[in-house]
């Protein structure tokens, strides 16, 4: 394992509409590691992912975040994405009229260009996209539909994993990827994620429930409450939480 951290969050304080949500978070992720962030509703889990991805509504009050040694806050959202940060949204937005294929191609082109790679020609890209669809048990017609338009909850989440597979990020943030999924859909999504685990890639899995961690097994578990990490531990912490509930931590 490399000694250079992929992501280093130090004393991060962030606010939404003037209200402090994150209250001093510190977290270090090395390549190859899987970190789970758990916490009750309103603990700030989603805020952390959104701040890292660069959402404008979230104001960074203090603290620092370095990604691959660079100050993350100097980058626009699209630059972060090109550098390798991928956020799998909890509620992916629907964009009628823009086909999923157009969207994926524009995205992959932008990221590949930034990494000094050739743009994929249309047939190659389509072939690649179809292959990934198959792995995620998505029908090829899925690519022709408007982005997330009329997708079921499970399809939306699988579409996020599909994008993750195509963009090959170095750090993926999964924001409550399990919410709204039944057990079968959850397994498919988790298999998709696990297929992308490797020595180089970091993964932050944000979840309310332990259930997802049966499928995506984390190296570390952090518990978030009131905008702070109140407890960190290994895999066993998640199980303990499930047994005792969040009130045990608070």
The site for another protein (CB under 8 A) is made up of 53-56, 76-78, 80-82, 86-87, 89, 92-93, 95-99, 101-103, 105-107, 110-111, 114, 122, 126, 144, 146-147, 163, 167
User: Quick one: 99 or 179, whose CB is closer to another protein?
Assistant: 99
User: Quick one: 107 or 179, whose CB is closer to another protein?
Assistant: 107
User: Quick one: 92 or 218, whose CB is closer to another protein?
Assistant: 92
Please, which residues bridge with residue 175 across strands? 206
**Residue 222 Cβ vs another protein, minimum distance, rounded to whole Å:** 23
User: Quick one: 46 or 163, whose CB is closer to another protein?
Assistant: 163
Residue 109 and residue 104: Cα distance in Å, rounded? 8
Neighbours of 236 (CB within 10 A): 9
Q: At what angle do helices 100-114 and 153-167 cross, to 10 degrees?
A: 30
**Residue 226 Cβ vs another protein, minimum distance, rounded to whole Å:** 26
CA 59 to mean position of chain CA atoms: 20
**Residue 227 Cβ vs another protein, minimum distance, rounded to whole Å:** 22
**Residue 79 Cβ vs another protein, minimum distance, rounded to whole Å:** 8
Please, which residues bridge with residue 146 across strands? 99
User: Quick one: 114 or 231, whose CB is closer to another protein?
Assistant: 114
**Residue 147 Cβ vs another protein, minimum distance, rounded to whole Å:** 8
Q: What is the DSSP string of 162-175?
A: HHHHHH--SEEEEE
**Residue 126 Cβ vs another protein, minimum distance, rounded to whole Å:** 8
User: Quick one: 23 or 163, whose CB is closer to another protein?
Assistant: 163
Q: The tokens of 76 are what?
A: 């626009």
The residue among 197, 240, 231, 234 whose CA lies nearest residue 216 is: 197
Residue 96 and residue 4: Cα distance in Å, rounded? 42
Pairing relationship of beta strands 202-207 and 34-38 according to DSSP bridges:
parallel
């Amino acid at each position: 394992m490399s000694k250079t951290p992929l992501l280093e969050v130090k004393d991060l304080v962030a606010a939404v509409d003037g209200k402090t949500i994150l209250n001093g978070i510190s977290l270090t992720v090395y390549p190859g590691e899987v970190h789970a962030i758990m916490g009750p509703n309103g603990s700030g889990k989603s805020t952390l992912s959104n701040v890292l991805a660069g959402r404008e509504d979230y104001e960074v009050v203090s603290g620092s975040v370095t990604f691959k040694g660079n100050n993350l806050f100097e980058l626009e959202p699209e630059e972060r994405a090109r550098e390798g940060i991928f956020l799998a949204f909890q509620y992916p937005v629907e964009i009628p009229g823009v086909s999923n294929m157009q969207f994926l191609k524009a995205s992959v082109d932008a990221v590949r260009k930034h990494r000094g790679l050739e743009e994929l020609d249309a047939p190659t890209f389509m072939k690649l996209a179809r292959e990934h669809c198959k792995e995620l048990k998505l029908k090829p017609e899925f690519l022709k539909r408007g982005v997330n338009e009329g997708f079921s909850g499970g399809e939306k989440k699988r579409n996020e994993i599909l994008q993750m597979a195509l963009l090959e990020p170095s750090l993926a943030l999964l924001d409550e990827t399990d919410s709204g999924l039944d057990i079968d859909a959850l397994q498919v999504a988790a298999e998709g994620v696990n297929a992308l685990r490797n020595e180089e890639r970091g993964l932050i899995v944000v979840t309310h429930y332990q259930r997802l961690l049966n499928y995506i097994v984390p190296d570390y578990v952090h518990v978030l409450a009131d905008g702070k990490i109140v407890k960190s531990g290994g895999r066993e912490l998640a199980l303990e939480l499930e047994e005792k509930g969040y009130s045990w931590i608070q």
